[in-house]
Amino acid sequence: MSLLQQEREIILSNEHVDNFDFAEVEDFIRNADKNLFISHHFKNKKKMLVQPRGGFPTYKKQFALNEFFVEANVDVLPLTIDSNTRLNDYATAKKMLLLSEENDVDMLNGYPLVTHGYRATRKMVTHFNKPVSLRHGTPDARLLIETALASGIFDIEGGPITYLLPYSKNFPLDKAFLYWKYVEKICANYSKLNEPINRESFGALTATLVPPAITITIQLLEMLLSLEEGVKSFSVSFSQTGSMNQDIVMGAVIKKLSRHYASSINCSDATINLVYHQWMGAFPTNKDFAEQLINMSTVIAAMVGADKIITKTREEASGIPTKEANAKTVANTQYTLGILNGLPKIVDEEEEEILTLEVNAIMEAVFNDSADTLWRKVFNSIKSGVIDVPFSPHIINHNEMITIRDAKKNIRIIKRGNVPIPDRCFLYEKAQCDLTKDTTSMVNDIIHDIGIMQ
């Protein structure tokens, strides 16, 4: 038996798993309907795919939510996982699920997939026969992803960097790399049986003034870590920055560079898609304004040329949205996409060149690390601050980089820290900003720059 299979048997044999039948699961995936695979839809799509967010604790409520989404003409169904399951606390998830079922009050902020198990969840997934995207935030997602794939969920979000640096203070980063390596291998192996399993990185990161160069670098690295294990379908992503031009520039550069770096490790046979997140920062409390913001995000996604858009709702500022509000965004977004015709092509060569130089410089510094494998190089680069994510709560993150918005609301780097931004680019970034201010008014500006949409 292979080492991987031995590890799988350990992961899948415990009191939270009801008799995982390896042969049956493999058979199910081999014969699964193509409609369940988002990779199949990406291949044949004629328009941008629309995917909301959403997860409720009970099977019944999740089923009802999906019915609303289907009614609103959804392309991809979400399955958002609760925070206990994300932290591998399956016992608490189970307790809270029972309470939710007994009292009809939601005691979990998502669907506890491991607790429901793959046999029940597969019934729901195959009933709707739409691709399902798994949304979580789990550093050790081995059991969760095994359960998801066995359920017919073939779009798996996350990664060792993007699900750790924004979400955790001290989960060990090196362990996260190894746990995600397991996930990549499982996805790669199942991809040989039918249409490929799609992996998606979470480019929104902290959604707080993250400069494009950092976002793109991390997207490329998670893509490479996935492709080198044999994954054949990967989505890079980013979220609305606050400047339409910066979004368009980012879209152009990430498309170009993802193909370039994929072919640099002889993986040009893999399909790379682009996912755009509607505004991920603080939302206006006025629900009508929230809808305007969502609509504008959709227009920008079309300008960017995204393959999939992930939506927000008018209730974003007030908590977990109702199924009605959630479905409404899906219908509205489909409507907007349907009437967006004759979009102009905007190319900003200077900005594209600056951003490309920045990303290539950081990538080169990562590759030049003396470690023997890519994940160790990336680990060392985060530790040394070559990769620095603004506003990450994690202790390993350097927090030396400082960013603000310029007059056009582009996110600009005004302090590099250890990130190897080339001098020419750094001078360009700073030249766009008013740097004569003292730190106190700078901090006020940063507070304003974060809450730009409120």
Partner 1 sequence: MKVVTGVVGNDIHVVANRLIELSLNARGFEVFNLGVNTYLEEFFDAAVETNADVLLISSLNGEAEGWSREVKLLRSKYKTLDKLVMVIGGNLVVGTADAETIVPKYKKYGFDLIFHQVDLNTGLDTLEEYLKERKIV
Q: Which is nearer to partner 1, 185 or 415 (CB)?
A: 415
The alpha carbons of the chain give a radius of gyration, in whole angstroms, of 21
Indicate whether 64 belongs to the interface with partner 1 (CB under 8 A).
no
3-class DSSP state of 415: strand
DSSP 205: T
Indicate whether 443 belongs to the interface with partner 1 (CB under 8 A).
yes
Name the nearest CA neighbour of 54 among 36, 42, 72: 72
Contacts 24+ apart (CB under 8 A), 61-70: 61/106, 61/323, 62/111, 62/124, 63/124, 63/127, 64/323, 65/323, 65/326, 66/124, 66/128, 68/323, 68/324, 68/326, 68/327, 69/326, 69/327, 69/330, 70/128, 70/130
Give the range of 235-243, 375-383, 387-395, 421-429 binding partner 1 by CB under 8 A. 387-395
Name the nearest CA neighbour of 419 among 387, 391, 389: 387
Q: Which is nearer to partner 1, 266 or 440 (CB)?
A: 440
CB 165, min distance to partner 1, A: 11
CB 21, min distance to partner 1, A: 38
Binds partner 1 (CB under 8 A): choice among 297, 336, 392, 410 = 392
Give a three-class secondary structure readout of 49-85: EEECCCCCCCHHHHHHHHHHHHHCCCCCEEEECCHHH
CB 238, min distance to partner 1, A: 19
Q: Which is nearer to partner 1, 208 or 297 (CB)?
A: 208
**What's the CA dihedral at 34, 255, 419, 171 to 10 degrees?**
-10
**Segment 201-220, which members bind partner 1 (CB under 8 A)?**
206, 208
- How many whole angstroms from its chain centre is CA 271? 17
Indicate whether 92 belongs to the interface with partner 1 (CB under 8 A).
no
CB 443, min distance to partner 1, A: 5
Indicate whether 452 belongs to the interface with partner 1 (CB under 8 A).
no
**Segment 402-441, which members bind partner 1 (CB under 8 A)?**
402, 438-440
CB 440, min distance to partner 1, A: 6
CB 222, min distance to partner 1, A: 22
Give the separation between CA 199 and CA 60, rounded to whole angstroms: 28
How many CB atoms within 10 Å of residue 298? 24
CB 200, min distance to partner 1, A: 23
Indicate whether 395 belongs to the interface with partner 1 (CB under 8 A).
yes
Binds partner 1 (CB under 8 A): choice among 30, 169, 408, 437 = 169
Indicate whether 450 belongs to the interface with partner 1 (CB under 8 A).
yes
Binds partner 1 (CB under 8 A): choice among 59, 63, 367, 391 = 391
**What's the CA dihedral at 182, 308, 301, 288 to 10 degrees?**
-100
- Residues that bind partner 1 (rule: CB under 8 A) add up to a total of 21
Task: Using CB under 8 A, list all residues that contact partner 1.
Answer: 167, 169-170, 206, 208, 390-393, 395, 399, 402, 438-440, 442-444, 446-447, 450
